Amino acid sequence: MKDCKNCNAACCKYVAIEIDIPEDLDDFENIRWYVAHENVIVYIEDDGAWNVEFSTPCSYLRKDNKCSIHEDFVDSKIKRPKICKDFSVDQCPFHNDYNELYRFEKIEDVDEYIEKVFKKGLHSINEADEEEDCDACGKHCTCCE
């Protein structure tokens, strides 16, 4: 049975945000900049989604890896964010099969990807992420729909 009893609270020690898939070398400059910072990585999930991850613990995480505002453990005026309440052990990448296609921890990792994948035409952009420019304004928008 999967549970959080012996967990090191890994899910409370990072923030990951999905980012746009880089489409050109200028976009990769942003990725290079992200990973030049300590405790920041970029990874590509097995579904093709790109994410930037900041390794930083939650301010409410106690030294024993328990949440200091979790309503099941303490009576606190501060309520946990909805994302915390909705998170289940079934979603935990540390308890489940989870694969990353690529992981960029430093600039050299990004440069290697550019040379071995992007410049060889092997980099893919999901069709769902491709947007057509609007006929009216020439930008990505919804004004013509």
Domain contains 141: no
Domain contains 1: no
pLDDT at 133 over 60: no
pLDDT at 135 over 50: yes
**3-state secondary structure string, 7-20?**
CCCHHHCEEEEEEC
**What pLDDT, on the 0 to 100 scale, is given for residue 126?**
63
Domain contains 5: no
φ and ψ of 26, to 5 deg: -60, -40
Number of domains in the chain: 1
**What pLDDT, on the 0 to 100 scale, is given for residue 30?**
97
% of the chain residues with pLDDT over 70:
81
φ and ψ of 25, to 5 deg: -60, -35
Domain contains 3: no
Domain contains 16: yes
pLDDT at 24 over 80: yes
At 54-104, the pLDDT tens digits run 999 999 999 988 889 988 777 778 888 999 888 887 777 676 677 889 999
pLDDT at 143 over 60: no
Domain contains 17: yes
- Give the model's confidence band at 131: pLDDT under 50 very low, under 70 low, under 90 confident, else very high: very low
Domain contains 53: yes
Domain around 94:
10-129
Domain contains 140: no
Token pair 């990792």: residue: 109
